[in-house]
Amino acid sequence: MIGHIERFNPVILKLKSFLSENFLGDIYYIETVRSGPFPKRLYGSKDGVVIDLAVHDLDLVDYLFGRLNHIYAQHIQTDSHNQDIYARVMFKTKKGILGSSEFSWISPRKERSISIYGDKGLLVGNLMDQEVWFFENGDVGIDYSDNYYQNALWGRVSEGKVIKFPIKREEPLKAEHDYFFSLVRGEKEGKEGFGLDYGKMAVEYSQGVLSSAGKNEIIYFD
């Protein structure tokens, strides 16, 4: 199941539950970071950071917010092998939400995170430590509006409460394997939103990143 492993991360399950409850109100922006040191075993290989990492976060954006409409990307490549080692992607979903993703092999610090900016505040998911934090917009109570971007456009964003939500830790890879084996044994029916089409889409997104960076142009998806 290409790129699906993070769908089984309890942090993502918690965030998806919050989004289904309209916890943040209108969503303004999405940001993901997936970075770490250069994997020496992959130096000089035909694939780089985009194929290795982008399938995960772009699949997560699709899973949480729906299909991407278009992307624009820039990357850094090695001189000797033209292997991509860093990529920054700007995107817009078909629902009109803007976002960005960073994929990096040039950082000594390993990070896996997703930040979701909404009318009522900011949700931050740490996918490695399996933590979810909520940073409240202190101005929401002053004049909350259901109109998209209303609070942000009028400068109604200030510090509020900070809440850490409890998460029951679970290894995503084990959860993914358990789910797959249960399907093979016929113990469960397939979940909506999981399957070959979504894996194929994750690969198409990643190929779109490479195409955009290589051609310096916006890539649109059907």
Q: What is the pLDDT of residues 149-194, one digit of tens each?
A: 556 655 667 778 899 998 988 887 676 666 666 666 666 665 655 6
Identify the CA nearest to 57 among candidates 107, 111, 108, 135: 111
142 pLDDT band, cuts 50/70/90, is: very low
Which is more confident, 137 or 192? 137
Structural domain including 101 reads 5-212
**What is the structure's pLDDT at 204?**
96
Q: Please answer whether residues 200 and 60 qualify as being in contact, where contact means their C-beta atoms are separated by less than 8 angstroms.
A: no
Chain mean pLDDT for the chain: 87
In a domain, 154, yes or no: yes
**What is the structure's pLDDT at 29?**
97
Using one digit for the tens of pLDDT, what is the confidence trace for 81-125? 889 999 999 999 999 999 999 999 999 999 999 999 998 999 999
In a domain, 110, yes or no: yes
In a domain, 202, yes or no: yes
| SS3 label, residue 174 | helix
In a domain, 220, yes or no: no
**What is the structure's pLDDT at 159?**
79
**What is the structure's pLDDT at 156?**
66
**What is the structure's pLDDT at 149?**
56
Instruction: Report the predicted TM-score, pTM, of the whole model to 2 decimal places.
Output: 0.85
Q: Please answer whether residues 100 and 71 qualify as being in contact, where contact means their C-beta atoms are separated by less than 8 angstroms.
A: no
Rounded CA gap, 9 and 101, in Å? 18
Q: Mean pLDDT over residues 2-23, rounded?
A: 89
**What is the structure's pLDDT at 148?**
45
In a domain, 92, yes or no: yes
Rounded CA gap, 184 and 74, in Å? 40
pLDDT at 206 over 50: yes
In a domain, 221, yes or no: no
pLDDT at 2 over 60: no
In a domain, 28, yes or no: yes
139 pLDDT band, cuts 50/70/90, is: confident
How many domains does one find in the chain? 1
Q: Which CATH number belongs to the domain containing residue 206 in this structure?
A: 3.30.360.10
